[in-house]
Amino acid sequence: MRALVPSMPRALSAAQVAQTAATIAGTQERSGAIPWFRGGHVDPWDHIECAMALVVAGEVTAAERAYGWLFTTQREDGSWPMRSTSGVVDDDGTDANMCAYVAVGVWHHWLVRRDRGFVRRAWPSVRRALDHVTSLQLPFGGIAWAQDATGRVTDEALVAGSSSILHALCCGIALGELVDEPQWEWELAAGRVGHALRAHEDGFEPKDRYSMDWYYPVLAGPLRGEAARRRLLARWEEFVVPGLGIRCVDDHPWVTGAETCELALALDAVGEHEQARVLLGDMQHLRDRDGSYWTGYVYSDDARWPEETSTWTAASVILAVDALSRTSPGSGIFRDTRPPDSLTLAGLECGCPTSEASHERLTGLAADPGQHPHGPKGPFRDEVPALDRA
């Protein structure tokens, strides 16, 4: 039976979403790899996001070919090259976040398909990947973002990357429980990185001009509830461009589709559904006639840039539509993922005070908007003006 394709009233119909998925599948190479655009390069993170979108839109064969390519190209240490083009490695280094994301993709596939055979085939790859990633954890709890081709590990961790890795660890922990192979080391690593993101952000390499550093701690789960809302509200006007989407960086007049959709997913995760829908609608100016999506738009020049449609932008649209419409069983992959209980223990290692009360305040375990201190509306509907959609 073909999956129900998600749709979003006043934004995209199911037929339009299916058309977008077809553009991703049409870019897939014979090997199963999904490059950024036809003839472009492949990186593991964006490749996996495309596979997730294909599963949601019912392109299951294409999605599983994509995972097949991923499993067969994994290196012995559990990593993948940062970048390859047409099967030739361009950058032999390792990006920790790119490697970890396989756990998110496989958990998402399970949520949508409930295919135990697929999970069994994928589990060795997930285990090797997350074992490698957790070996890159720095003393303060963040995950080193990169390892070069010689094996040298950087001493820098990034907020967005470590947030995404925390999400991947949570998915990996759930997979371990599913296959009856609990991974306590991952849970401890997740506790440490989650604590670092909430209590020691000054330990991360500053990248605060990028919108991803702003919203990723909300999107990926380190922050929920009041703390998450306050973080998003603090820089809302710096990044959000009414009617167009959000900036990739705060000092350029350039809105990008994938970041806009990811912010919509972050808003959805904290109950701000209407603002999420507005953003999804606002970025539709990037849609091309064939259903693909341009990467970004420089509004000061009225120009699309770069001059390419990207598969990962299209994938982010599909995943946002699915999340907001609650169509597939995997629609809550960001919204419903919760860090493990070991987060309450992580602060003890560095002497930070921890308690059930502070843990609830920081993580927003009572994330139901109806129980929020601001009441059922939440701070965005009270303090952030509605975006014009003329």
Q: Write out pLDDT tens, residues 24-76.
A: 999 999 999 999 999 999 999 999 999 999 999 999 999 999 999 999 999 99
Residues 6+ apart with CB under 8 A from 122: 67, 71, 102, 106, 109
DSSP string, 140-189: TSPBB-EE-TTSPBPS-B-HHHHHHHHHHHHHHHHHHHHTT---HHHHHH
Q: Do residues 296 and 306 make contact, with C-beta atoms less than 8 angstroms apart? A: yes
178-223 per-position pLDDT tens digit: 999 999 999 999 999 999 999 999 999 999 999 999 999 999 999 9
What is the architecture, at CATH level 2, of domain 21-383? Answer: Alpha/alpha barrel (1.50)
What ranges do the domains of the chain cover? 21-383
Is the pLDDT assigned to residue 350 strictly greater than 90?
A: no
Render pLDDT for 125-167 as a digit per residue (tens, 0 to 9): 999 999 999 999 999 999 999 999 999 999 999 999 999 999 9
Q: For residue 127, report the phi and psi dihedrals to the nearest 5 degrees.
A: -60, -45
Question: What is the pTM (predicted TM-score) of this model?
Answer: 0.90
Determine the Cα–Cα distance for residues 66 and 56; give it in Å rounded to an integer.
14
6 falls in which pLDDT band (50, 70, 90)? very high
Task: Please state, for a pLDDT cut of 90, what percent of the chain lies above it.
Answer: 85
**Mean per-residue pLDDT, 233-253:** 98
Predicted confidence (pLDDT) at residue 368 exceeds the cutoff of 50: no
CA dihedral over 321, 309, 106, 276, signed as positive or negative: negative
- Average pLDDT of the chain is 89
Q: Longest Cα pair distance anywhere in the chain, in angstroms?
A: 56
Q: Residue 352's pLDDT band (boundaries 50, 70, 90)? A: confident
